[in-house]
Structure 1
Amino acid sequence: MESPRDILKRHGLRPKHSWGQNFLGDADALQSIADALELRAGEPVVELGPGLGHLTRFLAATGAQVTAVERDRDMVAVLEKEAIPGVRVVSGNAATVDFAQVAGVPEIALVGNLPYHLTSSILFQVLAQRAHISRAVFTLQKEVVVRLAAEPGNRDYGLLTVLLGLHFDVEEVLTLEAWRFHPPPKVDSAVVRLTRLASPRAPLVDEARFTRLVKAGFAQRRKTLINSLKSDKGLAKPDVLLAALQTAGVDPGRRAETLSPAEFAAIERALGPVTAMAPPPPDAPEPDSDPDADDAS
């Protein structure tokens, strides 16, 4: 298999650091990623950020129908020139694209080596579009995968852990050391598999309110749950929040990182019917990565 360095040289290109381009050309790792997706012949799969097409070739070798979504025009040109059999190349932004629509089918499998700086945006898109995604396999910064797969009570447990955990089984598949990429990033990566559940782990009254509740819970991690929730003054009045915690059987003195997705869902249900809520406070999103770390793509 031709290395990323050689393909770039053949096309007169260099990795774009500002785009988070770190290309994976390790055949064993690429095969493991393709295997983790468990594709069937003829099954539609959307690859986000295919880059030079290394993983794309392994996906196509399964007989799946591959739609490769790439926003870098140089990479689109490379993929079109490489003309990998069974692959359709689409120019688009992975953070905004409608995954199933771009493939022209109602449900897809999803895979990609995601730029670190777009990780949260894409994962929130996965949540929003989950009805059309049977499963997803992503290469992410190692510490992000650890966070997504964390259990309640772990310091790595956070907002996306809960939101994804309500709707998906989340599993770390393997670690990818930095040296496997060209150019190597400053941190290791890992592969995570998300498998959509047949139904959420717990019912909700309103998905948007659940998301807002969890965001409020983690907005001030060092505070008790009741004090964190009260920081979003538009969520509910303090006495209503306290009553909801009591109804859900959740100690208001606990911290958000100790609650399971089902416990957060119980609090959301206990808030009762949805009424008009004031706009939420500005987001303070969890960091995807060390600000000094290189991006990968």
Structure 2
Amino acid sequence: MIAPAPELLRRYGLAARHSWGQNFLHEPSIHRAIAAASGAGPGTRVVEIGAGLGSLTGPLLETGAEVWAIERDRDLCRVLRAELGDNPNFSLHEADAVRFDYAGAGAGLDAPPTIVGNLPYQITGPLLFALLAVHRQTGPWIVMVQKEVADRLCAEPGSRTYGGVTVMLSRARRISVVTQVPRACFVPRPRVDSTVIRLDPRPTIRGEVADEEGLRRLVQAAFQRRRKVLANALGGIAGRDEVVRWCERAGIDPRVRPERLRPEDFAALQRAREEEARGRVGQGGHEVTDATDATGGGGEGAGAP
């Protein structure tokens, strides 16, 4: 069994890097809950994001699973090698979790790898969208995020916390809460509480589209002006008349606010947009793609629509 985080920090003369937003979870019951929720066991592969001091890695290895641990902090990698390097099921990857090859982690497996981890608060958005890009090649995700982020991800259409990140992730994944994690469970103690959530692959995605990036930009544009009616909210990517035509094709009221639309409604709107673009090409025009339009940046947080 691996030693508690405070003891390991003292043993190796280390401290959390505040500039990286490091907070080490030291509550064993939470580690056990995450390991249990992951379904890890013999014959399975788990990819752990941000292995840190190995406090979760140890319980995952105890299940008999093969664990690929991602960690970019060289000092923490030294600890992980010293504490867990003798375990044949342990594989350390000193890498940036946002750029890691999650799809490749499933090569040669009968079932896709499970993703677990305490997502660094500063890069939660980019990490979730990196995973979303390979959601068909990965199994369940069991991740810890800020409670505020978890509330947004679990929100229903029409609620105050419902937004673009909710649309994009809940379209591909069923999202449920595993457990709450008070801030006192970390060292150093952060200023916010956390939540462990599980994101399971949906058997069927909530609305197929041909252009995933086009859908992301459409959702992003809509929620940048979430309190306006849809016909006006999408003014950043199209004229009002064009948006109204998309709505007519999709069977959506152009007077509705974006926060009222379900993920499948946004997908229907994107398909209508694609159909109209194909129609213009068929008539001898030039198709306008998201690679060439003037969509603005910035969403509901780093990397999120």
Give TM-score scaled by structure 1 length.
0.91
User: Contact 2:237–2:293 at 8 Å: present in 1 too?
Assistant: no
> 1:159 deviation in Å?
0.9
1:161 to 151, 163, 166: 166
Q: Distance in 2 between matches of 1:190 and 1:5?
A: 22
CA RMSD after TM alignment: 1.6
Describe the SS at the equivalent of 2:41: coil
Residue of structure 2 in register with 1:22 after alignment: 23
Residue of structure 2 in register with 1:93 after alignment: 96
Describe the SS at the equivalent of 2:103: helix
Residue of structure 2 in register with 1:276 after alignment: 288
Q: Does 1:286 align with 2:291?
A: no
Residue of structure 2 in register with 1:60 after alignment: 61
User: Contact 2:106–2:138 at 8 Å: present in 1 too?
Assistant: no
> 1:270 deviation in Å?
1.6
Q: Distance in 1 between matches of 2:181 and 2:299?
A: 26
Q: Does 1:142 align with 2:147?
A: yes
Greater length-normalized contact order (CA 8 Å, ≥ 6 residues apart): 1
Write the letter of the residue equivalent to 2:144. Answer: T
Unmatched runs of 5 consecutive residues or more in structure 1: 289-297
> 1:41 deviation in Å?
1.4
Judged with a 3 Å threshold, the aligned counterparts in structure 2 of structure 1 residues 105 and 189 are, in CA distance, closer, same or farther, namely farther
Residue of structure 2 in register with 1:214 after alignment: 219
Query: Which shifted more, 47-56 or 192-201?
Result: 192-201
User: Contact 2:230–2:255 at 8 Å: present in 1 too?
Assistant: yes
Q: Distance in 2 between matches of 1:14 and 1:53?
A: 15
Judged with a 3 Å threshold, the aligned counterparts in structure 2 of structure 1 residues 238 and 128 are, in CA distance, closer, same or farther, namely same
Residue of structure 2 in register with 1:126 after alignment: 131
Moved over 6 A (4+): none
Query: Which shifted more, 136-145 or 31-40?
Result: 31-40
Residue of structure 1 in register with 2:201 after alignment: 196
User: Contact 2:106–2:137 at 8 Å: present in 1 too?
Assistant: no
Describe the SS at the equivalent of 1:169: strand
> 1:238 deviation in Å?
3.1
Residue of structure 2 in register with 1:244 after alignment: 246
Deviation by residue 1:3-56 (Cα, 9 ceiling, x = unmatched): 211101100111111111110111111111111111231211100100000000
User: Contact 2:230–2:254 at 8 Å: present in 1 too?
Assistant: yes
Give TM-score scaled by structure 2 length.
0.89
Q: Distance in 1 between matches of 2:108 and 2:160?
A: 39
Bigger Cα Rg: 2
Unmatched runs of 5 consecutive residues or more in structure 2: 278-286
Describe the SS at the equivalent of 1:171: strand
Judged with a 3 Å threshold, the aligned counterparts in structure 2 of structure 1 residues 280 and 82 are, in CA distance, closer, same or farther, namely farther
Write the letter of the residue equivalent to 1:175. Answer: Q
User: Contact 1:59–1:66 at 8 Å: present in 2 too?
Assistant: yes
User: Contact 2:217–2:295 at 8 Å: present in 1 too?
Assistant: no
> 1:280 deviation in Å?
4.0
Write the letter of the residue equivalent to 1:279. Answer: D
Q: Distance in 2 between matches of 1:192 and 1:279?
A: 36
Q: Does 1:69 align with 2:70?
A: yes
Q: Distance in 1 between matches of 2:81 and 2:161?
A: 41
Judged with a 3 Å threshold, the aligned counterparts in structure 2 of structure 1 residues 41 and 280 are, in CA distance, closer, same or farther, namely farther
Deviation by residue 1:227-261 (Cα, 9 ceiling, x = unmatched): 1112224xxx4322211112222111211111100
Percentage of identical aligned residues? 38
Matched residue count: 285
Write the letter of the residue equivalent to 2:76. Answer: M
> 1:111 deviation in Å?
0.7
Q: Distance in 2 between matches of 1:62 and 1:178?
A: 27
